[in-house]
Amino acid sequence: MGVIHSSPLSLSPFTTAIRITGSSVFPYTSKANPERVINSPFNHTDNICLPNLLKPTKKFGSFSHFSHISTCLGSKTVPFKCFGKVREMETQEGIFQKTLIDFHGIDEELIQKMVYDALVWCSLHGLVVGDKSVQRSGKVPGVGLVHAPFALLPMAFPEIHWNLACEVAPIFNELIDRNKRKWMPLHRGLLDIHSKMLEINKKEEIRLGLHRSDYMLDEKTKLLLQIELNTISSSFAGLSCRVSELHRSLLNSYGEHIGLDPRRIPGNASVDKFAEALAKAWTEYNRPRALVMVVVQPEEHNMYDQHWLCAELKDRYPFNLLYSLSCVELWEILPDGTLLVGGQEISVVYFRAGYAPTDYPSEAEWRARLLMEQSSAVKCPSISYQLAGTKKIQQELAKPNMLERFLDNKEDIAKLRKCFAGLWSLEDSDIIKKAIERPELFVMKPQREGGGNNIYNDDVRTNLGICHKDHAVSELGVYGAYLRNKEKVISKRAVWMLECGTKVSSSNEGGVAAGFAVLDSIYLN
């Protein structure tokens, strides 16, 4: 059973942009917002290989092999046109200046240089994923690496909306924490565990949430609309920090030529802050010899995103990490609730698995999950937090008077409500009909987490049985962490950074990036 998540007519980030994936550079066309379409110099073929892009130009004479040629242009020496344009845009908060990143007429040679430099940057700075076409690349680090799919330049984003997104993050965190009612049976296994915890009146004294709230911007209603709130395995904190750095590095080199200022890309410290929150949870648990366990999937092409976080933990904090898989049979709980794995005490269980149906192939995984939930280890997230992040529950929260059950502050409630894009169940046949007729109005959210599962635009029709075509929609993700110990909130308003991903569905894309988000950062205006 799916849920259709309404989205407004003119999603601002829904544009053609230059997205660079494993073996190709390809543009996406916007139907929603043709005015803001980036007129890519590339042909609209599926896979434009870099050697073709880096073909000779007259400027540098005739080289016999040009595939390895690129120029790094520093500032000031080579004159380029300035492409930045400023126009006014009205929002519900008033009128503000908006710089559009307008690529009309941008020099093709310059784009080629930027692509080349960006690819080098990714390789040197660990903005990489496992190449799905290479065996073992999801299991063994260091082999089958390919740069992560990324957008060549940041997405323009109004500062006012960004501020709002940062402002509501701690409120959402609070909402997740308070959200303890017994929900409809949707995730049967999770709910069973949840019910058992309710039965034994299990108290989670230390509660840690590492969340990412995803938004789209509606140009018509001028609203920042929440698409989903991830409460388990919020990904790309590691790689998105790298993307912000990549874009800043490109703008340092080329910003003057294209009229963009690197300082307008907000700092992204999400990976530091997630590490800090995990470390604080370990401190609160207050057993110095206990380990932090990272529960991972047996095959994970996005492993370097996780390793960035783990590297931060290893470098800065004194505790030890234990990578593990969710299927664990020899774990045990001591009478006092201590969780032991192989005889070693676990203080914090950080899940980068456990959200997909395939993460529970047998009863053993469910037993392991139950065991963890019964223990006194800090779960990030607990079953309760995880359930609160499911689409069905978010849909419930969007109903009238629901937020009031969990939150007191009326202003907070109003802010959150403004962000709800509205959720309808697929059980409603009128909605299905409308989705088929006007697919651009909807984003179909499958009832699971993890990247690459969203189905946009014409693919809504596909999935409802009509046709095939892929498009991409950019989302802004804002990370936030929440940590409390009994009644003491340790990190509540701790809201940090953003990740900006363009999720593409995996059917038609080809290449190694299929199923990955195309990473982006934002440019404030």
Binding to a copy of itself (CB under 8 A): which residues in 122-161?
122-126, 128, 131, 134, 136, 139-147
Provide the minimum distance between the beta carbon of 148 and a copy of itself in the complex, in angstroms, as a whole number. 9
- Contact by Cβ (8 Å): 175, 480: no
Taking CB under 8 A as the criterion, the residue among 34, 105, 267, 318 binding a copy of itself is 318
Q: Does 267 bind a copy of itself (CB under 8 A)?
A: no
Angstrom distance (rounded) from CA 202 to CA 423 = 31
Q: 269 or 489, CB closer to a copy of itself?
A: 269
Provide the minimum distance between the beta carbon of 125 and a copy of itself in the complex, in angstroms, as a whole number. 6
Angstrom distance (rounded) from CA 496 to CA 275 = 12
Taking CB under 8 A as the criterion, the residue among 230, 235, 253, 491 binding a copy of itself is 253
Determine the interface stretch with a copy of itself among 47-55, 216-224, 390-398, 490-498 (rule: CB under 8 A): 47-55
Structure tokens at 335: 């009478």
- Contact by Cβ (8 Å): 99, 524: no
**Binding-site residue positions:** 212, 228, 230, 232-235, 300-302, 306, 352-355, 391, 445-454, 456, 475, 503, 509, 512-513
The closest of 510, 396, 390, 517 to 453, measured between CA atoms, is 517
Structure tokens at 353: 């698995």
Q: With helix as H, strand as E and coil as C, how does 149-162 read?
A: CEECCCEEECHHHH
CB-facing half-sphere around the CA of 450: CA atoms within 13 A: 21
- The label of the residue with tokens 């509660």 reads 207
Q: Which residues between 5 and 34 bind a copy of itself (CB under 8 A)?
A: 22-23
The closest of 233, 228, 187, 182 to 4, measured between CA atoms, is 228
Taking CB under 8 A as the criterion, the residue among 45, 323, 409, 414 binding a copy of itself is 323
Q: Which residues contact 176 (CB under 8 A, 6 or more apart)?
A: 209, 211, 229, 231, 385, 388, 389, 482
Provide the minimum distance between the beta carbon of 204 and a copy of itself in the complex, in angstroms, as a whole number. 25
Q: Does 377 bind a copy of itself (CB under 8 A)?
A: no
- Contact by Cβ (8 Å): 129, 148: yes
Q: 125 or 180, CB closer to a copy of itself?
A: 125
Taking CB under 8 A as the criterion, the residue among 14, 28, 103, 116 binding a copy of itself is 116
Q: 389 or 511, CB closer to a copy of itself?
A: 511
**Binding-site residue positions for substrate:** 212, 232-235, 300-302, 306, 352-355, 512-513
Q: Which residues between 270 and 289 bind a copy of itself (CB under 8 A)?
A: 289
**Binding-site residue positions for ATP:** 228, 391, 445-454, 456, 475, 503, 509
Q: Which residues between 348 and 367 bind a copy of itself (CB under 8 A)?
A: 364
Alpha carbon 428 to its chain centroid, in Å, reads 29
Q: Which residues pair with 90 in a beta bridge?
A: 95
Q: 8 or 144, CB closer to a copy of itself?
A: 144
Q: Which residues between 388 and 447 bind a copy of itself (CB under 8 A)?
A: none
Angstrom distance (rounded) from CA 110 to CA 103 = 11
Angstrom distance (rounded) from CA 471 to CA 455 = 9
Q: Does 3 bind a copy of itself (CB under 8 A)?
A: no
- Contact by Cβ (8 Å): 495, 480: yes
Nearest-5° Cα angle at 123, 120 to 128: 135
Q: 23 or 221, CB closer to a copy of itself?
A: 23
Terminal alpha carbon distance of the chain: 40
Q: Does 211 bind a copy of itself (CB under 8 A)?
A: no
Angstrom distance (rounded) from CA 198 to CA 186 = 17
Provide the minimum distance between the beta carbon of 291 and a copy of itself in the complex, in angstroms, as a whole number. 8
Q: Does 256 bind a copy of itself (CB under 8 A)?
A: no
Q: What is the DSSP letter of 127?
A: -
Provide the minimum distance between the beta carbon of 261 and a copy of itself in the complex, in angstroms, as a whole number. 18
Provide the minimum distance between the beta carbon of 254 and a copy of itself in the complex, in angstroms, as a whole number. 11
Angstrom distance (rounded) from CA 306 to CA 319 = 17
Q: Which residues between 290 and 309 bind a copy of itself (CB under 8 A)?
A: 296-300, 303-304, 307-308
Provide the minimum distance between the beta carbon of 417 and a copy of itself in the complex, in angstroms, as a whole number. 41
Provide the minimum distance between the beta carbon of 294 and a copy of itself in the complex, in angstroms, as a whole number. 10
Separation in Å, CA 282 to CA 178, 185, 322, 381, 501? 22, 32, 13, 14, 30
Angstrom distance (rounded) from CA 306 to CA 310 = 6
Q: Does 333 bind a copy of itself (CB under 8 A)?
A: no
**Binding-site residue positions for Mg(2+):** 228, 230, 449
Q: Which residues between 48 and 87 bind a copy of itself (CB under 8 A)?
A: 49-51, 59-74, 77-78
* # binding residues, a copy of itself (CB under 8 A): 78
Determine the interface stretch with a copy of itself among 4-12, 45-53, 429-437, 481-489 (rule: CB under 8 A): 45-53
